[in-house]
Amino acid sequence: MRRSSLALPVLLIGAALALAGCASGAGQPAASDGVKVVASTNVYGDIAKQIGGEHVAVTSIIDSPDKDPHDYAATPRDQLAVSQAALVIENGGHYDDYLDTMLASADNAKAVVLYASDISGLNQEPATGHFNEHVWYDVVTVGKLADRIAAELSAIDPANASSYRANAATFAAELDGVAAREAQMHTQYAGRGVAVTEPVPLYLLNSLGLVNKTPEAFTNAVEQGTDVSPQVLSETEALFSQGQVALLVFNEQTSGAQTDALIASAGTSGVPAVGVTETLPAGKTYISWITGYLDAISAALGE
């Protein structure tokens, strides 16, 4: 997905509070509903719900694969949620800067803010290439984030700390199951070539031992929303016709002539394609979402 500087409209907290007064919260949780948590996307919102359970009220700003985090414009309702939050969860790495802008506008000094990219411990300033900010596809990072969420919720709401710890342990066991599945698939598929339209799924693919063969010039252009040169497109399409890759993984939330051309080239060469998203589809939890992708990749690659 392209990265861009967002021009957010200036919102007044007074307007947001007026909206709340007219609509009795208009979908925002009341104080009695639990610790108020705001997440930049529903990926992090779901993780917070898994840890917090009935003791938290979570608002996810980007809550559908139909919404683009890079094109988000703040609404009074979302601004109100940010102004009331005790815990805010962001991706960081310049992925969801809009939430920092909203926090500054809300002047919410009490909120604890967690950045998944910082918690990951990954090098955000690599000597070569660009930092891949899509860290939610790294199970190790998600485990670290879940631990921090449990710790912060316990500090904010000590009366329910035992519940947060128990939920975190359950979630950690589920993540261990995902990690075990990834390790098993690694023994099957390590070394196979893969192509991607964007860096979005690379942490997941790396965990399976799959080797990204896509020219960086192609993925950079698609992510930045710029045109891919004919030469680079030809080099990328050759990955399929020359049998260098066994799988194409593409971002379902973006489209364009170059992406469409790559999907078509994969189909012509009989290379299977798996689509991924940056946010949870309806009815999915983080665990079922990631597990579904592992199932799809395994089915595409075969035994």
pLDDT value of residue 11? 33
Interatomic CA distance for residues 284 and 208, integer angstroms:
22
CA dihedral 21, 26, 31, 32 (to 10 degrees): 120
Asked if 261 and 237 touch (Cβ cutoff 8 Å), the reply is yes
Residues in CB range of 260: below 8 A, 6 or more apart: none
Asked if 165 and 148 touch (Cβ cutoff 8 Å), the reply is no
Q: Order the strands of the 247-251 sheet from edge to edge.
A: 211-212, 193-196, 247-251, 273-276
pLDDT value of residue 71? 74
| Class of residue 66 by CB neighbours under 10 A (exposed 0-12, middle 13-18, buried 19+) | exposed
Query: Could you report the per-residue pLDDT of 58-69, keeping only the tens digit for each?
Result: 999 998 877 777
pLDDT band for position 29 (50/70/90)? very low
Query: Could you report the per-residue pLDDT of 52-101, keeping only the tens digit for each?
Result: 999 999 999 998 877 777 778 888 999 999 999 999 999 999 999 999 99
| Distance, CA of 294 to chain centre | 16
Residues in CB range of 195: below 8 A, 6 or more apart: 212, 213, 214, 236, 239, 240, 245, 247, 248, 249, 262, 266, 271
Asked if 88 and 35 touch (Cβ cutoff 8 Å), the reply is no
Least confident segment among 29-33, 140-144, 236-240, 270-274: 29-33
Query: Could you report the per-residue pLDDT of 281-298, keeping only the tens digit for each?
Result: 999 999 999 999 999 999
Query: Strand runs (DSSP E) across the chain, as ranges?
Result: 35-41, 56-62, 87-90, 112-115, 193-196, 211-212, 247-251, 273-276
Amino acid, res. 117: S
Amino acid, res. 281: P
Instruction: Give the CA diameter of the chain.
Output: 63
pLDDT band for position 32 (50/70/90)? low
Interatomic CA distance for residues 292 and 130, integer angstroms:
28
Tokens coding 178: 């995902």
pLDDT > 70: percent of the chain: 89
Spell out the domains of the chain, with CATH numbers in brackets.
13-178 (3.40.50.1980), 190-301 (3.40.50.1980)
